[in-house]
Homo-oligomer: A and B are copies of this chain.
Amino acid sequence: MRSVTVDHPRGTRVRGTKQASAVAAALASLPGFRSAQEIHAELRRQGETVGLTTVYRHLQVLSEQGVIDTIRDPSGEALYRQCGSTAHHHHLTCRECGRSVEVEGRVVEQWAERVAAEAGFTAVNHTVELFGLCPDHSAARN
């Protein structure tokens, strides 16, 4: 394994910092979708010195790189998660614990494309989120 200094458009470099790997590590270890603030709190709890600003910055970068997935909970808050598959997929997430299952959606993609074409829309992208209660948290309800 080799620590790489990545090339940027104009000869600029990206530096490998403690915080960058800390955020990545946190995402890799946390099992479900978490908010930026939760991730920040978790890192602080582990004794890492990371600013909230920095956490947001890295989450944004990782998200743009496609390394992590971003969804929005019903209140509009952004949640982040490092996913197993880099391929396009959707999520079924527990409202209580953030635990999530990756689900493929060939059917949905096709449906979206068809619908968009029929309406004459272009540059269409879709967001499909499933929220519910995972088996562990289903019991509490009646």
Contacts and interface: CB of A to CB of B under 8 A. Distances in A.
Interface of A: 72, 74, 76-78, 92, 94-95, 101, 103, 105, 107-108, 111-112, 115-116, 119-135, 138, 141
B107 A130 contact: no
Contacts of A103: 115, 119
8 closest Cβ pairs, A-B complex: A124-B132, A76-B76, A121-B132, A120-B135, A122-B138, A101-B119, A103-B115, A126-B130
A136 to B, nearest CB: 9
A111 B104 CA distance: 10
Given A131-B124, A132-B123, A111 B112 contact: no
Nearest to A72: B76
A116 B103 CA distance: 9
